[in-house]
Structure 1
């Protein structure tokens, strides 16, 4: 049958469908945001109300006024609006901010075939030869039933270019009426299939031909589109069907029959000169977006509440996509369902798109066994920089032998992806291991993939676990792609209030309000709303970014679950407090502090751009007399765990046993036990500042007190600034840490006691000029120096900087009260008292036995070694004089530290930084590779916390002295 005759037959079929159209049931849901049509006129009070949507100048050419009755949850309404019907043979414009109805299948143009007419430009952004439907910013197109949809035919175009503040909306009549007369919808609405959707047909290559003798990718290879939408396909890769920018398609999708359903937007053989960016499809009954072959590329796509697959392709799509966000409801299917050709898996041109920077979020309570990424039916493709979480079926399923062949040949690539699903990989018995494919075992093209625990903030924004994944530079994938040095759809600098999807999308981000578990106070500080935390948190609580959270009194997370996880206390309540990037917690006085009880967790997961901050009210209000000396303005953070300690309140208990417990500082409860791998959560990119409080002469709050905390706890990139007592103190336990920054501490910057046996790498200490004690003060047990388990940590790569000439008589390292330990790759400079002091005979014994080791360390203090008369020579110990042969490659000299400075003294001579000079004496010290001691440590070939000027791990997220 000739193409034109077939098209006419399809148009007749569509018209018949229009005659059969009827309104279906609607579902209402409270609330909605944005895109409300003009107010109604006439009607009112009981019965059928009236809404007049006719523009002031009347209906423009190509449309006509018509009144229709729309049923909705509150009754019915007579809506008078301009209406577009049938086949548009000339250009039609929907004016800005007006609402037009469509009736039946509205065809833009009449199919002009698979090949452009002579003289027609299909390779520029100018309009093709056929008519154009222009939809101006802020306009709304409305369908009344599933039979109402828009088809852009081959050779014609759509010009729908909204803006961030005036998006174009395509939605249902019920939605429009409920916005005005009923209860406006929110993202909780389950409404779908209330009108048809948008179909765009192009002349780009496809591989599914209705003529079985045609060759895929040629002008002879065409296909009939879904929903009686006409033919598509051809041999013009750079075909142009127009523009879609800042467009929202809501409540669409219609089942024509069991094999034919309308997608939110169907790109059918659409070419690469078509522009598509900033498009949302919300609550579609079939797929959100589906590509049927073609070469079109898309960017900034949001797919929410889709009943079937959020993003789908088939028939040989070879375009690109970047920045794709998917959020499922509890009845969705796949996030990505990607095929080549279901009838001929190896059909050419093969589906082979490139997709970068996607975030797919399933629904952990889903009733559907949904999959994050289903790759099948022979597809190739490159899928990089992705985050896939919370899908109940699995994160990844690869099916069919032809797809396996693409994977084996290296033509199906999944790289730099982060997965967290239940389970991560399909367990179907088809002989293909998705796990091996993901991990690059036998599939060398797949690199830097990680399966772990999601740390996404506010549902979509990357946390430290996602940011730890090494990304692919998308600009290396082709000229279409924009720079992005991160995985996922959003950058770490973006927030709910400021991101590429904010402002124009529907129901994507909830209206900001104080989270459950907190109380709205009605107060704002510097324009930020204050939420309050009090008493004991008995349920999991998440503190989202964008708020200030006030601690009132001692706030306990959970009720102490006891020392034995197998036998928790009768009144135990194990709770997780999650603090997301950008959240700020504050106290108003020293009585306000935060305690994590045994069995409970803190998940404080900031990012380099948006650290979690725990600070004081005075800091936020800007009322500190002098920020440089401000301390003790609130309490601090206490974490209690079940790991072994050696200081027992029960004198008969054995150290390290479940019976050995201790009462924490600041009336913070009991800690200790026998679970070395106890898990109290995570601290990542977290700052604690202006804290510390003297409860009494023997009891002060540290910036962070790790009390019996276990090795299952993650501590990485943490700063304590200007604390009135110690910066960080470890009371026994086994917790490890990396990247600690301790600045302006009034007492000891880093302290341990009670049998701590953890590991630390990369520590910066920089003292203030006004007040400070030791850089390191390391003990075993002050009451029983030989108590077991003995303190015996391993610490590598530390830089301790005092203040030469200050009033403080401080020591760089004070090792005492029976501690053992391994301290390597250190730089200690400018402490007024000395760089090293070792006290008590039990400590001397550990040194003499080789169990206290100090190696590959550089000293430069006015007096490098303590001169106390206790019979122990710190200088001999440092220099490895027998019996201290465990100590090697230690050196003294004149420091060359320079560069970035946390705390700048008035004297330029004291403006010491943390970067050693390239040719300075520190560089002459032979380092020890700490990874040879324990796999916890990174392999390094330098001493100190910072390698060189290019090593900037401490910058950006930390607070500097003003």
Structure 2
């Protein structure tokens, strides 16, 4: 860092007296008052630094200059205003200097232990772009030691004997932080200024304390509600509290507080920022605390509200309140681990830790904040939310996301008094999460039996109830395991575009509960990338695209793709098996080498692989390189999860490196309509029921099967098992045939449960099947299967899932042979075996090429509604093989398990029989029964979207909550309503 020595100024006696600097031991007289400046508009233009005067106007001149964060060299002024000689009157810190705190710096005299006025007050104004540093925790004894290290000839400044530097605004005084979006005020440790700070640094200085005159409850019971109800602040910050809930301690706008906090004892710790009995007249807007030691932000009583706040990397609790805080909070972002590759070892506790009053939990005024639109991303440590000691809380329209392995509980409500105040099961009035989504792998189940709500011994008493089960029963609270928080590494907290579209109907009216809150049309702290209020003034949340080109996240390593494919991050098999990995977007692509297995298939060894929007994952090898079994593919064993979080315009793509190679025998010029089986595909194993096992084991946990392609065992007894999610995912050129009985598909769902979410999934040019279901209960919406070389959709072994909005489009100009659009089985050697394959389809469009469009055999059933089965060649719509398929259990009930309603069958040939099962007449009777239309060659599709014939049909109602109500048959009502636009891969586009 560039350092320049300025002229050492010999202080005049007048200047020393006014600033309290030099060697004077007498208290500084109060400066002449000047009017407080009007706060700058938000956002204000970046201010130009005031031309530097010859000496510090506030504080002692060190004779040293150093470079500020804005790149300008500025003089260093040391602030020495101890409790005995605080800042009084109006004082402004201009942005022409850098200010070093010399011990504890106080604004105003505050109040005494009885609540009476202790002396003159102060007003401290801090201009936009001003930097204030503390030094005592950064390897320097005090500010002067740092200055001396910078320049051995610096001025001799009298120093404090304090061990830590911090800033305190006392009751009755005010602070006006006038930062802007382009020039925030920064309070930090000096090592941050010198560039020596590390990602995990903390406690570089003491922090920022604001004390007010509002009510709080930490006092003698007899004094509650009187001016004598005061408390003694932590870190010798003085007394606070009073009777004025509308008290104003000023305004704080666009402020960064970094690397703060200090531990005097286990019961006395400074936080990033402490608001002590601060009143509602105080404006708190656009505030970030980063890497605070102890808590990020803590409220001790009072009524202050805060908007647009960010807490990152707090070592204890990110947000803490106690002693009767009744303020509000809206538009918040809390991320416990901002830099996972370097920050994981730092201890962290709860995202929110909330109390009323420990020894008298019903004491009034009771802590009861109202909060809305906050995104919380937990990582490591304690609970996501800990509510105890009688507090109430409304946390509305928010996203609560937690780490699946290393965190403790999603929700911990302690103490009988907390439950009693909350309400009762069925009538919970004072703890609310309306409009909020618990969106994480761990927080997808909340009943006490799930293990994610703390069943601690403190949760005892006559008023305790299963609060997790109560929340889970409410339609207004949502639980997912999607990991939708986060759109890219440099905005790790953002609401995913899908969150609002999925949950818009659940948004709570926050304004009704508190007039300070706005009822927004989104949940979470940030609506979208385009409306991201954190841009431009926060630290660490946004990094440049150039920086992203060198960044590989935890669990990956920088490498290159073969034959000129470019730089990439390699996902190593060892890391995937042992580490939760998030493939962040906005930077390099990723490459898989070999069989990538996520976790080890045990509950203890469960891991997740999370993939952000826009990420591309390439294979290392392509067909013809290495042996037949030497290939790249992804296996998600039982208990582990795959979280594919693509978005419109930014799908997640799994594909062949042939797409990006620029040289060699398999470069991009060899990519064609014939490209397939370049890599293995996706295999997801679950714990749902299936029927491929010893008959004596059916229905037990021992009913497991071995997956194809050495993908491991799958199956169990949990039909509600959760293997993660696939949102806007594309799988291209995948699949591999080892032998006729062992083939990898585009995507294989093996005993996957119905808590797994699949929405917007495409497979293209896959070898063997596009998508195959091996038992299980997984459902899917918006499924697009194009040019699979065998069957487009295949199921077997007892699959009972549901699919809506699905397209099979076989002919994409490829010359390799294709088989059926649907090939479906129950169980080959025991066709009556249960659980019986019995899926339900609605709004399916099949555009078959040749051969059979649909083959049902080996005992499967099928319910199909409002669908279109057509062809572009000379296909047969329907074939039902095997007597058991048509007459399950041979009980004389033909068509048992076959429900066809509201469909159009318009292939060149309607039905076919193969000597076993239903004959042509029986099949045609099914196809033309009820509300179906069977008309060979009678359709009018345009591609896969409806023409006039299809548009003239009337859909039937489906009595199942999974299915959306539609006013059309088929998957695509019209070209204008085509849901494949803006995400799917089309070779002709």
TM-score normalised per structure 1:
0.71
Tell me if structure 1 keeps the 8 A contact 2:866–2:956.
no
* Structure 1 match to 2:124: 132
Residue 243 of structure 1, CA deviation: 2.0
Structure 1 Cα separation of the partners of residues 618 and 569 of structure 2 = 10
* Structure 1 match to 2:42: none
Change (3 A) 1:377 1:477: closer
| Of 512, 530, 551, the match for 1:513 | 551
Deviation string, structure 1 residues 6-61 (Cα, Å, up to 9, x no partner): xxxxx9xxx99999xxxxxxxxxxxxxxxxxxxxxxxxxxxxxxxxxx99644431
| Of 348, 353, 370, the match for 1:337 | 353
* Structure 2 match to 1:45: none
Deviation string, structure 1 residues 430-470 (Cα, Å, up to 9, x no partner): 326766334437x9999415486967667756689988764
Residue 151 (structure 2) pairs with residue 152 (structure 1): no
Residue 781 of structure 1, CA deviation: 8.7
Structure 2 Cα separation of the partners of residues 187 and 157 of structure 1 = 33
Residue 858 (structure 2) pairs with residue 818 (structure 1): yes
* Structure 2 match to 1:141: 133
Change (3 A) 1:176 1:912: closer
Change (3 A) 1:639 1:550: same
Change (3 A) 1:66 1:211: farther
Residue 351 (structure 2) pairs with residue 355 (structure 1): no
Residue 98 of structure 1, CA deviation: 4.0
Change (3 A) 1:67 1:433: farther
Residue 645 (structure 2) pairs with residue 606 (structure 1): yes
Structure 1's unaligned 5+ residue stretches are: 1-10, 20-53, 69-78, 115-127, 567-572, 898-907, 932-936
Change (3 A) 1:58 1:913: farther
Residue 758 (structure 2) pairs with residue 716 (structure 1): yes
- Other structure's SS at 1:315 match: coil
| Of 265, 271, 278, the match for 1:269 | 278
Structure 2 Cα separation of the partners of residues 388 and 533 of structure 1 = 24
- Other structure's SS at 1:504 match: coil
Structure 2's unaligned 5+ residue stretches are: 1-19, 29-49, 65-74, 114-119, 137-161, 338-344, 444-450, 626-630
Structure 1 Cα separation of the partners of residues 676 and 217 of structure 2 = 70
- Please give the residue correspondences for 1:3-402 in structure 2 after superposition, counting only pairs within 5 Å: 57-66=53-62, 81-85=77-81, 86-96=85-95, 98-109=97-108, 131-137=123-129, 139-142=131-134, 144=136, 145-146=162-163, 148-154=165-171, 156-163=173-180, 166-173=183-190, 175=191, 179=194, 184-189=196-201, 191-192=202-203, 195-204=205-214, 206=216, 212=222, 215=225, 225-226=233-234, 227-235=236-244, 237=246, 239=248, 241-253=250-262, 255=264, 264-285=273-294, 288-307=297-316, 310-327=319-336, 331-341=347-357, 350-361=366-377, 364=380, 366=381, 372-377=385-390, 379=392, 381-387=394-400, 389=402, 391-392=407-408, 395-399=411-415, 401=417
Tell me if structure 1 keeps the 8 A contact 2:780–2:803.
yes
| Of 679, 695, 698, the match for 1:635 | 679
Tell me if structure 2 keeps the 8 A contact 1:530–1:550.
yes
Residue 449 (structure 2) pairs with residue 414 (structure 1): no
Residue 148 of structure 1, CA deviation: 3.3
Deviation string, structure 1 residues 191-229 (Cα, Å, up to 9, x no partner): 43x54322223455556678956746xx88766655343
Change (3 A) 1:825 1:90: same
Structure 1 Cα separation of the partners of residues 963 and 910 of structure 2 = 30
- Other structure's SS at 1:910 match: coil
Residue 669 of structure 1, CA deviation: 2.6
* Structure 1 match to 2:538: 504
Residue 705 (structure 2) pairs with residue 669 (structure 1): no
Structure 2 Cα separation of the partners of residues 709 and 782 of structure 1 = 14
* Structure 1 match to 2:775: 733
* Structure 2 match to 1:584: 616
* Structure 1 match to 2:578: 539
Change (3 A) 1:577 1:214: closer
Residue 170 of structure 1, CA deviation: 2.0
* Structure 2 match to 1:47: none
Tell me if structure 2 keeps the 8 A contact 1:106–1:149.
yes
* Structure 1 match to 2:730: 688
- Other structure's SS at 1:401 match: helix
Change (3 A) 1:745 1:760: farther
- Other structure's SS at 1:855 match: strand
Residue 385 of structure 1, CA deviation: 2.0
Tell me if structure 2 keeps the 8 A contact 1:597–1:641.
yes
Change (3 A) 1:172 1:525: farther
Tell me if structure 1 keeps the 8 A contact 2:796–2:837.
no
* Structure 2 match to 1:776: 821
- Please give the residue correspondences for 1:492-891 in structure 2 after superposition, counting only pairs within 5 Å: 500=534, 504-505=538-539, 513-515=551-553, 517-521=555-559, 529-533=567-571, 539-540=578-579, 542-546=581-585, 547-551=587-591, 554-557=594-597, 576=607, 578-582=609-613, 583-587=615-619, 589-590=622-623, 592-596=631-635, 601=640, 603-608=642-647, 611-617=651-657, 619=659, 629=673, 631-632=675-676, 634-639=678-683, 641=685, 664=708, 668-669=709-710, 675=716, 681-692=723-734, 704-706=746-748, 708-711=750-753, 714=756, 716-725=758-767, 728-730=770-772, 732-747=774-789, 750-752=792-794, 755-767=797-809, 768=811, 770=813, 773=818, 776-780=821-825, 792-802=837-847, 808-809=849-850, 811=852, 813-832=853-872, 833-834=874-875, 836-838=877-879, 840-842=881-883, 845-846=886-887, 849-851=894-896, 853-861=898-906, 863=908, 865-866=910-911, 874=920, 876-880=922-926, 888-891=930-933
Change (3 A) 1:453 1:292: same
Change (3 A) 1:534 1:388: closer
Structure 1 Cα separation of the partners of residues 599 and 318 of structure 2 = 43
- Other structure's SS at 2:390 match: coil
Tell me if structure 1 keeps the 8 A contact 2:315–2:346.
no
Structure 2 Cα separation of the partners of residues 320 and 527 of structure 1 = 48
- Other structure's SS at 1:802 match: strand
Tell me if structure 2 keeps the 8 A contact 1:327–1:362.
yes
Tell me if structure 2 keeps the 8 A contact 1:629–1:722.
no
Change (3 A) 1:136 1:641: closer
Cα RMSD (Å): 5.5
- Other structure's SS at 2:466 match: helix
Change (3 A) 1:170 1:822: same
Deviation string, structure 1 residues 304-350 (Cα, Å, up to 9, x no partner): 33346742243343333331415277655543333445576556554
Tell me if structure 2 keeps the 8 A contact 1:663–1:670.
yes
- Other structure's SS at 1:889 match: coil
Tell me if structure 1 keeps the 8 A contact 2:273–2:296.
yes
| Of 436, 446, 453, the match for 1:424 | 453
Residue 302 of structure 1, CA deviation: 0.7
Change (3 A) 1:159 1:636: farther
Residue 107 of structure 1, CA deviation: 3.0
Structure 2 Cα separation of the partners of residues 445 and 621 of structure 1 = 52
Change (3 A) 1:464 1:692: same
Residue 889 of structure 1, CA deviation: 3.2
* Structure 1 match to 2:508: 472
Deviates more, 1:546-555 or 1:135-144: 546-555
Structure 1 Cα separation of the partners of residues 598 and 417 of structure 2 = 51
Tell me if structure 1 keeps the 8 A contact 2:660–2:668.
no
